Amino acid sequence: MAKDVLCEVNSCKFWAAGNNCNASSIYVVSNRGKQASHSEETDCKTFESKI
């Protein structure tokens, strides 16, 4: 398992200084409903808006 999870989405409530993610777990899914072959075809379902 990854020790460090980086994220540049500073509008997420789990975003922390240094582009770190403070979520206790990360959930990533394919955004097309089938197996992804590139990172652009995935979505982070862990995202929660700061607002």
Take residue 46 and report the two structure tokens written for it: 């862990």
Take residue 51 and report the two structure tokens written for it: 């607002």
CB 20 within 8 A of CB 3: no
Q: What is the pLDDT of residue 1?
A: 67
Q: Which DSSP string do the residues of the chain spell out, in sequence order? A: --S--B---TTBTTEETTTEE--SS--EEETTSS--SSGGGEEETT--B--
Question: By CB neighbour count within 10 A (0-12 exposed, 13-18 middle, 19+ buried), where does 23 fall?
Answer: middle
pLDDT tens-digit profile of 1-51? 677 999 999 999 999 999 999 999 999 999 988 899 999 999 999 999 998
Domain boundaries, the chain: 1-51
Q: Can you give the pTM of this predicted structure?
A: 0.81
Q: What is the pLDDT of residue 2?
A: 72
